[in-house]
Amino acid sequence: MSYPADSGHLLLQDPRYDYPVVERGEGIYVYDGAGKRYIDGTAGAGNVILGHGRGRIARIMARQAETLAFVFTSHFANPVAAELAGRLAEKAPGRLNHVYFVSGGSEGVETSLKLARLYHLRRGQGQKHQVIARWSSYHGATLGALSTTGSGVRHAFSPWLAGFEHIDPCLPRACLFDGCGETCTLACARELERAIVRAGPENVAAFVAEPVSLAGGAPGIPPADYFPRIREICDRYGVLWIADEVVTGFGRTGRFFAVRHWDAVPDIVAFGKGVSSGYLPMGGALFTDEIRQVLEDKKEPFPHVFTYVNNPLAARVGLTVLDLMEDEGIVERSAAMGEYLLDRIRTLRSHPMVGDVRGLGMLVGFEVVSNREPYTYFPPSLKVHERLHRHLIRRGLSISATGGPGDGSPGDSVRIFPPLVITRAEIDEMVEMLDEALTAVRRQIERE
């Protein structure tokens, strides 16, 4: 028997949205009860990197569930989580050799923040508590991660949030600093230094940033020297740099971790999503030898436990994901197919509505504009992003369309981050649908 979207009892996120009810998935596609097919152009929430319906993951999960589904991390260790931690340490740059597994990206960010706080506390620098993050960012829904987040989703809960500082992000096309453009002087990185000095370096524990920012719209890709400069500034003031790789990790940008694009290594990497390819909730924090040493110096525990920390079943899924990624050359594939996807999306510039197109690996997007010269966004009241989304979902393509950074300023954009197993023909199919949707929505707006 098929149930409607909410059966009258299930809270769904948006009461205005008529949710398609999906019952099955295979590869880049999901299917509703009537057999209608949707391309999952956002790999679920960016997590289903290996595609839907992977039998090998399901079979190995079932075996692990029979062998050992759960042990409580406060009472027992297990070899599966230990093995996955070792495998991730091999993938990570520098001395990021230690892992604490949790149940998702928000928990991974929370864990990273607490690791940073405890690191300073146990080194006798208990005053270091302040966190600096960036506007136009998303770091998760739990209150620490939401305090770090710099976008509109904060508003309803702002009385509960920690008073973390936010600086402007590195968004090359929409740079808010003087002197940017052809002659970028990395004013956005120097802004971090100013914020640290303002807060007092003795008070600042950590700086948090997504390697490629997404919350403001199409991917914001920093110039090659942004993160090296961030590294220098953090070192100068004893501030830990936390890279939020929840979306960008596990091959999404054409490298295993996105920070591998640049000559700079963070102190902590928060991860989630791709680690389990959507087959179970999982996330975590990777951190350096030095942090581990300081943490355990006085033989005190890490006072931050969730029931599902270092869970063996999720870890087995993580190991299987890594095996499949290696067998199928997923990171290299993401780099190569990402270039193809970006080239194909660039062809949509034949539509005057398509503004700046940006991408890194299989994380691609474009701004939707009413005019390219002068560069003008549509008024937010037209909700162009919602029109595009509605049209595409009817046609059978699910993408991520946003209406700006969430602070009321305009800026519709479309983001596409499909499963990393997508083929050229499937990319072509997706781009054709986008092409048609842009024409249809333009006509609709002109008719009004």
Ligand X SMILES: Cc1ncc(COP(=O)(O)O)c(C=O)c1O
Q: What x-and-dash track marks residues 286-305 binding ligand X by CB under 6 A?
A: --------------------
Amino acid at 317: V
Q: 232 to 251, contacts with ligand X by CB under 6 A?
A: 244, 246-247
Place of tokens 């990402």: 338
Q: 138 to 197, contacts with ligand X by CB under 6 A?
A: 138-141
| Distance separating alpha carbons of residues 410 and 378, to the nearest angstrom | 7
Query: To the nearest whole angstrom, how small is the minimum distance from the Cβ of residue 111 to ligand X?
Result: 11
Query: To the nearest whole angstrom, how small is the minimum distance from the Cβ of residue 373 to ligand X?
Result: 33
Q: 99 to 118, contacts with ligand X by CB under 6 A?
A: 104-106, 109
Query: To the nearest whole angstrom, how small is the minimum distance from the Cβ of residue 419 to ligand X?
Result: 16
Contact 219, 415 (CB under 8 A): yes
Q: 104 or 396, CB closer to ligand X?
A: 104
Contact call for residue 219 and ligand X (CB under 6 A): no
Pair type for strands 268-271 and 240-244: parallel
Phi, psi at residue 189, to the nearest 5°? -75, -40
Q: 43 to 72, contacts with ligand X by CB under 6 A?
A: 45
Q: Which two tokens stand for residue 398?
A: 């699910």
Closest CA to 396 of 94, 140, 29, 77: 29
Q: What x-and-dash track marks residues 333-372 binding ligand X by CB under 6 A?
A: ----------------------------------------
Q: 135 or 138, CB closer to ligand X?
A: 138
Per-state percent for the chain, helix, strand, coil, to nearest 5: 40, 20, 40
Contact 330, 50 (CB under 8 A): yes
**Using CB under 6 A, which of 219, 272, 338, 361 touches ligand X?**
272
Q: What x-and-dash track marks residues 300-339 binding ligand X by CB under 6 A?
A: ----------------------------------------
Query: To the nearest whole angstrom, how small is the minimum distance from the Cβ of residue 398 to ligand X?
Result: 15
Phi, psi at residue 23, to the nearest 5°? -120, -15
Contact 17, 277 (CB under 8 A): no
b (16+ CB within 10 A) / e for 344-367: bbeebeebebbbbbbbbbbbbbbb
Q: 210 or 412, CB closer to ligand X?
A: 210
Per CB under 6 A, residues contacting ligand X are: 45, 104-106, 109, 138-141, 210, 244, 246-247, 272, 283
